[in-house]
Amino acid sequence: MDKSFSLFPPQASNLAPRVDGLYFFMLATTVFFTVIVAALVIIFAIKYRRREGAPPPERFESAKLELVWTAIPLLFVIVMFVWGAQVFIGQSKIPDNALEIHVNGKQWMWHVQHANGRREINELTVPVGRPVRLVMSSHDVIHSFFIPAFRVKQDVLPGRYSYMWFEPTQVGEYHLFCAEYCGLQHSGMIGKVNVLKETDYQRWLSMTPVGEEPMDVAGAKIFASYSCNVCHSERGPSMAGLYNREETVWVGSPDKEQKVKADEAYLRESILYPRAKIVKGYDPSLMPSYQGQLTEEQVAQLIAYIKTLQPVNPGNTMDLGIKMQELNNQKPYMRSRNSDASKRDYE
């Protein structure tokens, strides 16, 4: 991280130049009109000041002039709106091939978990030149995940998922802040983002400390320990190929149907508040609530496991045993000299 004084942080992501372009255009427009208005106020105040014995000034009206000074600011505002909408849409459309990382905010730290199970506290390690998708949640109050050099900031709310993406363009270390007041030690909720070359990032991932499992493996064990496969293979809806599938659900009562996409938010809600949306045709009392029994990290691990489930036969059924065997046959993990295990005071 560059500690020298700078008015603006470096442009270290693909989104940064677009955000800066809009920002400087708005700044230049503001300065332009401020100078013109201030200059005209001073000139007119001097030129048309009241003088003793002078006749009152003649009234001057011009519809054309009024149209001009209305149309020009309107055009500037329209440009800002269209430009801003394009930047916003670009920030909202997450690439399909983005690397997924889970972030959980807690007073007063950031807890990060990668797909292979590696954890970080107040640090985020990502590869350069590759889109990164953050799935974020809060353990307690509202936080805001802010990386100035990437020009990205997203509120992180309790009880739901927030999403953010970026593509780092420069190797280096960059500041990470919580930009929402979250309590007495809010100012200490800081960290850093480490952007590595792809080879260095893969090497860093391979040094996952012993005992840290991939998220889908941990999720499969939770799935089995709570006997979820008992219902979801027979009495309940199948989980095979569920992620991102469109489902017809009952909302409140069977006479209120709607279509929903089975994304992370839907899966989380179904785990913690199963009666909020009932899959059409199934008993509302079949699924118990796991609110208070599972942590946010465990919910994320369960969802990671559900994402991996695919139909294993034309009957669209799910074989948990086969999937568990596949996941547990993965390679063991090496111990890192920089293990994060000593920091695991998160729970």
pLDDT reading at 328 higher than 90: no
Q: Mean pLDDT, to the nearest integer, of 9-29?
A: 94
Residue 321 belongs to a domain: yes
CB under 8 Å to 256, separation ≥6 — which residues? 250
Kindly tell me the burial class for residue 287, based on how many C-beta atoms sit within 10 Å of its own C-beta (0-12, 13-18, 19 or more). Answer: buried
> Is residue 282 situated within a structural domain?
yes
Residue finishing a domain among 184, 211, 238 = 211
The pLDDT of residue 342 is above 60: no
**190 and 106 together in one domain:** yes
| Averaged pLDDT for residues 154-164 | 92
Average pLDDT (176-198) is 93
- State whether residue 175 is helix, strand or coil: strand
310: pLDDT strictly greater than 90: no
Q: In what order do the strands lie in the sheet with 109-114?
A: 119-121, 109-114, 99-106, 132-138, 162-166
**What gap in Å lies between CA 13 and CA 236, rounded to an integer?**
44
- What tokens appear for 322 in the block? 């086969």
Mean pLDDT of all residues in 175-184 = 93
Q: Is residue 39 part of a domain?
A: yes
Residue 308 confidence class, pLDDT cut points 50, 70, 90: confident
Q: What angle do CA 30, 34, 37 make, to 5 degrees?
A: 140
pLDDT of 343 over the 50 cut: no
pLDDT of residue 203: 92
Q: Is the pLDDT of residue 218 over 70?
A: yes
Considering the domain architecture, whether residues 265 and 308 belong to the same structural domain is answered as yes
- The CATH code of the domain that includes 180 is 2.60.40.420
Q: The domain containing residue 186 runs over which residues?
A: 99-211
Name the residue among 2, 336, 338, 37 with its Cα closest to residue 173. 2
Same domain, 103 and 204: yes
By mean pLDDT, which of 110-119, 164-173, 223-232 is the weakest? 223-232
Angle at which helices 296-308 and 215-225 pack, to 10 degrees?
A: 100
> What was the pLDDT predicted at 147?
95
pLDDT at 35: 96
The span from the CA of 143 to the CA of 108, in Å, is 9
Residues 232 and 287 occupy one common structural domain: yes
Instruction: Indicate if the pLDDT at residue 195 is higher than 60.
Output: yes
Are residue 246 and residue 279 in the same domain, yes or no?
yes
Question: What pLDDT is recorded for position 318?
Answer: 46
Same structural domain, 222 and 204: no
pLDDT score recorded for residue 213: 85
- How many domains would you assign to the chain? 3
φ, ψ for residue 110 (rounded to 5)? -110, 125
Checking if the pLDDT of 80 tops 60, the result is yes
Q: Is residue 245 part of a domain?
A: yes
Q: Is the model's pLDDT at 188 over the cut of 80?
A: yes
Full-model pTM: 0.77
Where does a domain end: 42, 68, 92? 92
Q: Would 333 be classed as within a structural domain?
A: no
pLDDT digits (tens, 9 = 90+) for 240-250: 888 888 888 88
Residue 63 lies in a domain: yes
Q: Looking at the predicted structure, is the pLDDT value of residue 345 above 60?
A: no
Instruction: Verify that 69 and 126 share a domain, yes or no.
Output: no
> Regarding predicted confidence, which is higher, 130 or 280?
130
- At residue 254, the pLDDT reads 64
| The pLDDT of residue 207 | 85
Domain co-membership, 34 together with 81: yes
Give me the pLDDT at residue 2, please.
60
Q: What is the mean pLDDT of residues 180-203?
A: 93
342 assigned to some structural domain: no
Is there a domain that residue 182 lies in? yes
- 87 and 152 inside one domain: no
Q: How many CB atoms lie within 10 A of CB 208?
A: 22
Residue 294: band (very low, low, confident or very high) from pLDDT cuts 50, 70, 90:
confident
Lowest mean pLDDT of 33-42, 103-112, 261-270, name the range.
261-270
Query: Do 183 and 230 have their domain in common?
Result: no
- Which residues are 113's β-sheet partners? 102, 119
Indicate which CATH number applies to the domain containing 63.
Answer: 1.10.287
Mean of pLDDT over the chain: 83
Q: In terms of domains, do 223 and 310 share one?
A: yes
Q: Are residues 85 and 188 in the same domain?
A: no
- Given 188, 211, 234, the domain boundary residue is 211
What is the arithmetic mean of pLDDT over 279-296?
Answer: 82
